[in-house]
Amino acid sequence: MSISSWDDFPVHQSPDWIRHVATTDRNFYDRYYFNLHSSSGELFAIFGMGQYPNLGVHDAFCCVARGAKQHVIRASRPLTDRMDQTVGPIRIEVIEPLKKLRVIVEPSEHTIAMDVTWNAAIRPIPEPNQHIRNEGRVVFNTQRFAQLGRWEGTLSVGGEDFQVTPDRWGGARDRSWGIRPVGEAESDGIREGSNVMAGMWNYFPMLFDDHAVLYLNHEQPDGSRKLVEAKRIWADGRPDEELGRPEHDHTFESGTRVLTHSTISFPESGLEIDCEPLLVNYVSVGTGYGMDADWRHGMYQGPELVVQGKVYDVDTEVKPIGQYGVVDHVARFSYEGKEGFGLYEHGFFGPFPDYGLNDGAAVAP
């Protein structure tokens, strides 16, 4: 049915129904991403939900790193009313737009249950548009905003229960939409062998007591940068500070593509931030970000709701492949006597000679 509840609101962006987006590109998506941590290496949870109107799919996941295990629950169903933010046991409620959201994973036979509410600590930050064309086709054309905040509620993983309180449980979220590769893998054709995300990806949103720092860098193997952001955002509403061109100095775990430490500097602003990862979450495995042939964001799983649970051993089942995708950590950040926590996300795709990664399979010495 074309008509849905959203059509009763003045939010249309084209002459069509809300159910039908303004582009016919199969890869149009609309997605939430959240992370949750205890400002320590205790656990690190990542969860999200996406709608894919031109693929007719609505899916969601929650992935929790705890000790030597990575727990995943994931769900998929055909897309119906876009206002319905429920996929099986996973539900998102927007209580106050841009300020307060609730995320629920109902208890089930699987190893994760959660009922947490997120409150914004800073205003949402619009990030640069990511636009990448490859051999004539637009592969990425996305818009995103980022925001940091505090969590409260309850979380259960692997039989352990945690009380989530805003004094120490924080996290970042983003909302993104547009065009990026989703669903079943397509034939590459003329694009065979090319990698539009080649190079280094860094994304470090950091929350301090009265401000946040947002560092983003997609740097190609030749040193050119496709996407960069570096700013400081004050909680009291002062104007954002542009920090200037960022520079990076990364340390790898030997024999891997996993970072163990970073120093990010902003010479124009005189800032240098020490980055210490505390716990890793290989979000590319089990959640739909591309490492699983049978479960990708937007992949059709059949006419009925599908819910699956997974428990992986990190060192043997996840790390060997997950290190070649996007790798998320909770991390401690410090500069000028200030301490904060947040997301330390990196990926090295293909060669990156500056750090000794001379081909797509290479690892750090």
Taking only the tens of pLDDT, the chain with its 365 residues reads 789 999 999 999 999 999 999 999 999 999 999 999 999 999 999 999 999 999 999 999 999 999 999 999 999 999 999 999 999 999 999 999 999 999 999 999 999 999 999 999 999 999 999 999 999 999 999 999 999 999 999 999 999 999 999 999 999 999 999 999 999 988 889 988 888 889 999 999 999 999 999 999 999 999 999 999 999 999 998 999 999 999 999 999 999 999 999 999 999 999 999 999 999 999 999 999 989 999 999 999 999 999 999 999 999 999 999 999 999 999 999 999 999 999 999 999 999 999 999 999 999 99
185 domain residue, yes or no: no
Model confidence, pTM: 0.96
Q: How many structural domains does the chain have? A: 1
Residue 281: name the closest of 112, 71, 65, 69 by CA: 65
Alpha carbon of residue 283 to chain centroid: 8
Give Cα separations from 106 to 87, 92, 110, 122, 156 (angstroms): 11, 11, 10, 29, 10
**Residues β-bridged to residue 275:** 262, 333
Q: What is the pLDDT of residues 184-213, one digit of tens each?
A: 988 889 988 888 889 999 999 999 999 999
134 domain residue, yes or no: yes
6 domain residue, yes or no: no
Calpha distance 141→236 (Å, rounded): 32
Give Cα separations from 362 to 255, 347, 348, 350, 359 (angstroms): 9, 13, 10, 8, 5
Calpha distance 138→27 (Å, rounded): 10
Question: Amino acid identity, residue 157?
Answer: V
Cβ neighbours for 323, distance < 8 A, ≥ 6 positions apart: 256, 257, 258, 282, 363
The pLDDT score that the predictor gives to residue 192 is 87
What's the start-to-end Cα distance of the chain, in Å?
Answer: 56
Q: What is the pLDDT of residues 235-254, one digit of tens each?
A: 998 999 999 999 999 999 99
243 and 266 Cβ atoms separated by less than 8 Å = yes
The C-alpha torsion from 358 through 359 and 363 to 365, rounded to 10°, is -20
229 domain residue, yes or no: yes
Calpha distance 14→6 (Å, rounded): 13
Residue 282: name the closest of 111, 38, 68, 32 by CA: 68
187 domain residue, yes or no: no
Radius of gyration of the chain (CA): 20
Calpha distance 245→215 (Å, rounded): 10
Please report the DSSP string for 268-310 in residue order: TTTEEEEEEEEEEE-TTSSSSSSS-TT--TT----SS-EEEEE
CATH classification at residue 241: 2.40.370.10
365 domain residue, yes or no: no
The C-alpha torsion from 283 through 104 and 39 to 315, rounded to 10°, is -30
The pLDDT score that the predictor gives to residue 265 is 98
12 domain residue, yes or no: no
122 domain residue, yes or no: yes
By three-state DSSP, how is residue 60 classified? strand
Calpha distance 193→188 (Å, rounded): 8
Show the domain range for 319: 26-180+195-355
Tokens in use for 344? 């330390």
311 and 318 Cβ atoms separated by less than 8 Å = no
